[in-house]
Amino acid sequence: MPTFNGWLSLRIACFVDRRVEVTYGQSVFSVDTRNHPAYYRYQARLAYEAALAADKVVGHWPGYEIAAPPPVMTMCAPAIELSLKACLLENGIDERTVRKFGHDLVGCWGKCIEVGANPDLLDMKILAIISDLLVSGRLRYGEESDLGRVPVFGPLSTLVEASLALCGAPKVSDILS
């Protein structure tokens, strides 16, 4: 028997799932091959909203005017990854091929371009840095990229927003309205 908080969380999850299902015709909590793109888009939006919330809390701390805080980058990376993978799935690339990219955002973006994405949509410099940090595991441990840089939040958030737009991720207002 769920606790009150567990029951409330379940009720909220069911409400959100119904709203997304009405909007997109697919559930986001029951995942199968038919709705992986919708699930990825929804999870990408959630990751970015978590990044925005983290930036509001720690983004003004000393030092983060020159680099995005690690928790923010940690949430932005999967938002980008899931957006790119949703784009590939929507464009007929099979799940097995999409999963082979792992966390390689640059490789995934290259495939998106192959299936018709505008090559000028994403900032390749920022994408390469965040991809290197993600693939190498350095993102989790606060280590510098092999490229010798870390992104500031402004350009990183622009990259995430462009990737969310690319895949048609729902806006918060779409989910909550």
CA dihedral sign, ordered 85, 157, 116, 27? positive
Q: Which pLDDT value is given to residue 2? A: 43
Q: Helix (H, G, I), strand (E, B), or coil: what is residue 25?
A: coil
DSSP state of 28: S
Q: Among residues 30, 22, 82, which one has the least CA distance to residue 51? A: 82
Q: Which residues of 139-158 are buried (b: 16+ CB within 10 A; e: fewer)?
A: beeeeebeeeebbebeebbe
Residue 18 lies in a domain: no
CATH number at 85 reads 1.20.120
Residue 154 lies in a domain: yes
Could you give the residue ranges of the DSSP H alpha helices within the chain?
Answer: 4-24, 36-58, 70-90, 95-100, 105-114, 124-136, 138-141, 153-167, 172-176
Residue 84 lies in a domain: yes
Q: Which pLDDT value is given to residue 63? A: 82
Residue 9 lies in a domain: no
Question: How many domains is the chain built from?
Answer: 1
CB 52 within 8 A of CB 77: no
| Domain, as residue range, for 157 | 37-176
Q: Which pLDDT value is given to residue 27? A: 57
Residue 28 lies in a domain: no
Residue 169 to residue 177: CA distance in whole angstroms: 15
Residue 70 lies in a domain: yes
Per-residue confidence in pLDDT tens, the chain, 177 aa: 444 344 444 444 555 555 556 555 555 555 666 788 999 999 999 999 999 999 999 988 998 888 888 889 999 999 999 999 999 999 999 999 999 999 999 999 999 999 999 999 999 999 999 999 999 888 887 777 788 777 888 999 999 999 999 999 999 998 887
Residue 5 lies in a domain: no
Residue 55 lies in a domain: yes
